[in-house]
Amino acid sequence: MDSTPENPEQIAEGPRRGRPPGKRNRPAAQIRADRRKIKKLSMHGYVDVEIAEKLGLSTRTVRSALTSINRELKEQIFMNYDMAMKQQLKRIDLMERDAHEGLERAKKPATVTTTTVTDTAQVTVTRVTSRAVSESRQIAFLRQMARCVELRSKILGLYGRFR
């Protein structure tokens, strides 16, 4: 079945179905302006039929624009969420690194430098004292590291899966 009309008058009139010939190619600037108006009216609670009437567009055009706008908003939300998640993970990495460095510092013996001044000379004495690493200090650093692991696993959606 051939879709071309045989009647020359039909060719001059344009297609019988679909949009009128004048509305086919709206400029891109007009489309963007209409989308901004559609978005604004939609946020104010107007439904697609009301928006179409106000702007002089077809409901199909308005529905299509709303679908596109909703898709773009969802993509922006996911992009913002991903960016926030990455920032949070960087912050957790820094906290964990600080806790690990604190734990390593707590394990090392303390070095104390003492300067003794006498009447005749100034003598610097360096002595190394070994101190017992307090368990409460180690536990505090380990708790901080465990908290970082817990936060990271919650952000990544792994928390509670292996219980």
Q: Which structure tokens are listed for 36?
A: 């901004």
The region that residue 128 occupies, defined by phi over 0 for left and psi between -120 and 50 for alpha, beta otherwise, is beta
pLDDT at 114: 63
pLDDT at 37: 93
pLDDT at 1: 46
Going residue by residue through the chain (163 aa), what tens digit of pLDDT does each one get? Answer: 445 555 555 555 555 555 555 556 778 888 889 999 999 999 888 998 999 999 999 999 999 999 998 898 888 888 888 888 888 899 999 989 988 888 887 777 666 666 666 666 666 665 655 565 677 778 888 888 899 888 888 888 876 665 5
Q: Based on the number of CB atoms within 10 Å of its own CB, is 157 exposed (0-12), middle (13-18) or buried (19 or more)?
A: exposed
In 40-151, DSSP assigns E strands to: 110-117, 122-129
**Residues contacting 45, CB < 8 A, separation 6+:** none
Are the CB atoms for 69 and 42 separated by under 8 Å?
Answer: yes
pLDDT at 52: 92
pLDDT at 7: 56
Taken in order 87, 88, 92, 93, the sign of the CA dihedral is negative
Q: What is the pTM of this model?
A: 0.45
Q: Which structure tokens are listed for 157?
A: 């959606």
